Amino acid sequence: MISVPAAAPTRERILDAFAQLLIDQGERAATLEAVAAAAGLSKGGLLYHFGSKDALVEGMLTRLEALVADDVEQIRAAPAGPIDYLIRTSMSEGTPLDQAIAAAVRLAQGAHPLANEALDSTRRQWLAVIEETVGDPDVAEAIMLISDGLYYESTLAGPGRPAADLTSAARLDRLLAVIGRMTERPATR
Residue 41 shares a structural domain with residue 81:
no
Query: Is 140 inside a domain boundary?
Result: yes
Q: Is the pLDDT of residue 168 over 90?
A: no
pLDDT for the residue numbered 52: 95
pLDDT tens track for 16-43? 999 999 999 999 999 999 999 999 999 9
Query: Quick one: CA dihedral 39, 43, 47, 51, positive or negative?
Result: positive
Query: Quick one: CA dihedral 63, 65, 71, 73, positive or negative?
Result: negative
pLDDT for the residue numbered 154: 84
What's the number of domains the chain is made of?
Answer: 2
pLDDT tens track for 137-150? 999 999 999 999 99
Q: Is the pLDDT of residue 181 over 80?
A: yes
Residue 75 shares a structural domain with residue 35:
no
Query: Is 67 inside a domain boundary?
Result: yes
Residue 80 shares a structural domain with residue 33:
no
Residue 132 shares a structural domain with residue 109:
yes
Domain that holds residue 177: 63-183
pLDDT tens track for 53-72? 999 999 999 999 999 999 99
98 closest CA partner among 130, 127, 71: 71
Residue 161's SS3 state is: strand
pLDDT for the residue numbered 99: 94
Q: Is the pLDDT of residue 7 over 70?
A: no
pLDDT for the residue numbered 34: 97
Q: Residue 135 is which amino acid?
A: G
Q: Are 117 and 88 spatial neighbours (Cβ–Cβ below 8 Å)?
A: no
Residue 11 shares a structural domain with residue 98:
no
Query: Is 111 inside a domain boundary?
Result: yes
Residue 47 shares a structural domain with residue 67:
no
Residue 72 shares a structural domain with residue 24:
no
Confidence (pTM): 0.86
